Structure 1
Amino acid sequence: MKSRITALLMFMILGSSVMNAQISFFPYYQSGNGPGGWTVIQTTPIWNFGFASVGPSGKLNDTAIVCNNFAYASGTAGTLVSPSFNFTALAKPVVHFYVAHRSYTSAENDSLIVKISTDGGVTFVDTPLPYKKSRSTNPSLATQTPSTVSYNPSSASQWRQESIDLSAYGGFPSVIIAISGVSGYGNNLWLDDFTVNDAASICSDNVTAPGNYNCNSIASVNMNSIGNPTGGRLNVVQHTYTGYVLSYSPVSIETNTTATTHDGSIFTPNIISPDGWFTVSYSGNDFNGFANYDITIDLSTYLFLNDITKVYIVKRASIGSPWVALSTTTNGTSVKASGVTSFSDFAIGGDSAINPLPVELTSFVASVNGRNVELKWTTSSELNNAGFDVERRTEGTETWTKLGFIDGNGTTGQSSSYTFSDRNVASGKYGYRLKQSDFNGNYTYYNLSSEVITGVPENFALSQNYPNPFNPSTMINYDLPFDAKVSLIVFDMSGKEVAALVNDVKTAGYYSVNFNAAGIPSGVYFYKLTGETSGNSFSAVKKMLLVK
């Protein structure tokens, strides 16, 4: 008989004490190492942190999220709730994450369900159904055969990457993702490396037998074996680089001592082509077996490529993992990596001395002084660089405004540094990016990797808590336009105080407070913010609903 004692080292998900009200900058990446802004709704602690023996990228003792089906009876459920995502500027939002699971025997039916809310978390829908899998679905949720031992992934090959097309929600101002685990009293279910990004294109093929599948015109996959005997769904998501500047150069690439290019060279790439990258996933990798395949990428439309025989196809588990060079062969304008056994991200890597990028940006940072923002960026080399448009976007909008133009240095192998000052910016949250152009009209975007908050709020404000309804934790945001003695209390319908969240002098700025209601019963509660300083005062009250 299965014991309810598990050997896993676990920690309750408590949520972050500070979070932004909404995620507006992409790609968004969250590892299992303390997901900020996420909350958990559960009466039994089935969702926890745990240390996976081996994570999706091969990292040892990798912190991940685990649904402890091994310890809790059939029907026990819990839900992970994401922060709110602003998809206003996203045409084809797509979600990726990794899953590893096995059952206790073939009789149990643990399940995982993904639902979407567009009304601030009040209701969640599964139409169109984003994701629903269990041990008994075909392909299966399980990535390994059953075991009576509490499951902990012992190899990167035990993880499967999932892709969920959320194009139906492109343009929506608020999207919340709920991931529900339901125990069948089987075995542990592990999740890691959650990513949300915009896609240039999304396509899929229904794989039923070995052969070539080319729903994407640039990246094609030849399945040598298909894992699950009945096959599965092969998804190819094409991305363009409008995200982190560190996706360009320098990049995190593992030292290569074995993988060869077409001409037999062995080196460690130091750049990734800015022409784009791909996320390839396959649902047919389950407990019946994992697929083996070749991937081919057509480089005929790629710019800045001088020698195709000296490039690699590189792969990584996720945005948070380093690129790994694969042995690569060439056929005309295409390159191929053979015998690949895991599905993940793919790109083209090279040596900047042979296949230089037009501009190698090594840093891009912002500093704020009151309402003034100073942008600084540095290049390690430049090729035919006409210069940089500096653009700004207000959080929650999709319109980029050109602020100015900074001349480039043409062609140089020397490091160059640039600055741009954006002065008297209204208080708020902003994104910045550079549009680098060459003298032929080609251009590439480089985004600042985090938002910029300027000035102080113009007015006192108390925001509606999020999520609402909630269980057991919720976030309360407030804006403070001047230094003040601040009090934030929670009280019930009778007026009895149940929690004092803030009672201190605070400087002007934006604040977020986490309220954990684990120790109080379900019901309607109120929270009151009071701010006082000489000559100024403010008070506001809002209602929230705790549902257990």
Structure 2
Amino acid sequence: MPRVDYVGVHFSNKDIGWAVGGLGALIKTTDGGANWKTIQTNITVPILKIRSINGQTVIASGYSGLILRSTDGGEIFTQVESGLGAGFDLWGLEIVNDTLGWACGATALLKTTDGGESWQIINIPGYTGNLWWIDFMNENYGFVAADGKVLKTTDGGNNWEIIQAGDDRPLYCINIIDSSHIAAAGYGGTNYSAKNIYSNDGGYTWIHGGNLTTEEVNCIKYVSADTGYLVMSNVSAWKTTNRGTEWTTIQGISDTYELQILENINEIIGYSAGTGLKISKTENGYENWERLIMNDNFSDVCFVSEEKGFALGNYNVLYKTTDGGINWTAKGVLGSCITFIDSLKGFIGSSGAIWKTTDGGNNWYITNGANGASKIFIKNETTGWAIRDNIIYKTTDSGDNWFTQFTAPTSVRFTSIYFVDSLYGWTANLGGRPYKTTNGGIEWVQQTNLDLWITNDIYFENYTKGWIIDKTSWSALKKTIDGGLNWIKIPDVLNPFKFHFFPDSNHWLISGTPQKYITEDGGFSWIDITSDIPSIFTSFRSVTNKLGFAAGGLGLLLRYDDTAYVPVELNSFTAVAVGNNILLSWSTSSELNNSAFQIERSTDKTNWRTIGFIEGNNTTIELNNYSFIDSLFKNNSQKLFYRLKQIDFTGTFKYSNTIKVEIGIPSKFFLSQNYPNPFNPITQIKYSIKENGLVSIRVFDVLGKEVAILIKEERPAGEHEVNFDGSNLSSGIYFYTITANDFHQTKKMLLIK
């Protein structure tokens, strides 16, 4: 369902209806609003109104003269030529019968006499202003709300009377109660109650009503000559029982653009549409409304199993599901972040307190010591931290009591906190550089050497490797491999905002605006999944590596099923040329249902050929090393690419990153172990250099004394070898060292005579 502002609603009977709104959104229900489906329009401009008389022919209007028509009950719509273009927005629409209809807007009035197939522009002599709303009682008797005036016809629009209606402020809506009683309303103003007027004589004289707020009125509807309702461009809806002389506020609907009160039925049924996906219904009196669509702006979501989860809404409501998100029940707990230790114990952070549950979310109580939290990080059963503004709280008793551990300057606002273990932690924050602790928060040290002033989230895999989302100058993902001393920008990730993790530490998401990314190799490579996830997705939690739940604005709740995820943690994958062969080596730190690795080779990274097959180790948490030798006796290419296709026992697979090998030129500097070793008295030493340069190989005894210089000269890139003769040396351990450009390496050898 498009998550936009819905500004128009219409029901042809109590069950079948439509709603329209921004970005060409059009939805339909056939069960009184319990369920809605999206109708494709291929339109990107807002649709403002929709109407139908018989339930089969449906007309919609909107920006830039837009008119849509359906003849199959609003399932398929086609655009109809209106004769209007950009700037002529159609704000009002009225379908009188199967053939007759009207539309109005910016200085334009349109009429159809063939059920909306064609439209003609109607000129009104003496009036050139805006036409905001149109209402007909029958095919002859109608009114248009205009700029300080109403236009009246009694002959089906052949002639129009222009009547001053109260002061000159515009009228945005009008309602014909009967031929004598007409109500209209519209513009407010800084110093005025919103304009609302009433006529007892068919629209010729008007009486101003009173006591509304200053916002404009979007829609007015009367259910009798005395009793009426209106909605305004704020949170208020109003009721009158004395023809607009006095108004009282009613609850249940807010930020509403249109009301529809169904006529000619024996039930009291009404519908409304408004901003933020607000579509509401009343069935037991127009003062009692219920939302038909969950439209909360969810701040956080947390699942403790595949079936049981929670979501925090913006109406002080905690939602709970026990069937995997199909159905939700509401509970009045205020908060902005939620986390659980296990299936029973959980926490909610709010602006004034930290709440805790010990019975799976059925009951919540306020803990001691913390004045709220924007994020809660629980490390183990007893220990956790929470942040609020410039304060860090800590608990050591499973969250029953919290104490202020650190208070930063008031210019700092913490945005995230993460601990590798119970001692080593980091913060991300606005208005100051990140803080770091190595003693569980006893001391927090600001990292004054870092040019990171605005950071939004942080994550460390271990003491040395971590990631941070830096928004100092432009939103960027940065990585450190030296414990935060230096940070390198990751160019493949644009506009990041927040980290979201699966149980597998190598499998995580980054959400941003609008970009979204996923990695399955611990951040080594990233896949852009922006087109797969709505931009208003803000929070994500997973309970398995294949299943997660996302939440966001305007009631967004998504279930994520990754059927292609293969949980094998690949630590490394390298290739090196050895003579006429390529040695491929890789290792895994854990495997789950790993059937095999298929080795593939390419000369252009497009066309791949399978060259080998190595069995996996099924399920294991131990380190496993693999290797494969690719013989090149039939290959003439100077450049080769390799990748691994990891396959599990169900046939699901994923590819590793691609690596490149330059044939004939080593891909790296390398010093081989001498052969033979031990030796007497001659041994051979092989080495590889990837670029031309000065090379020296020297031999030392155990006391560090230089005993031989085997080579000290310019050498070309490639593989080389040199012999060492130890005839003049005594038996013992010797060391040989290579220096080539910035490459230095030492190995040990044993001479035995």
Shorter-chain TM-score: what band?
under 0.3
| Structure with higher RCO (Cα < 8 A, 6+ apart) | 1
Q: TM-score, normalised by structure 2?
A: 0.21
Instruction: Decide which structure has the larger Cα Rg and report it.
Output: 2
The alignment's TM-score, normalised by the length of structure 1, stands at 0.27
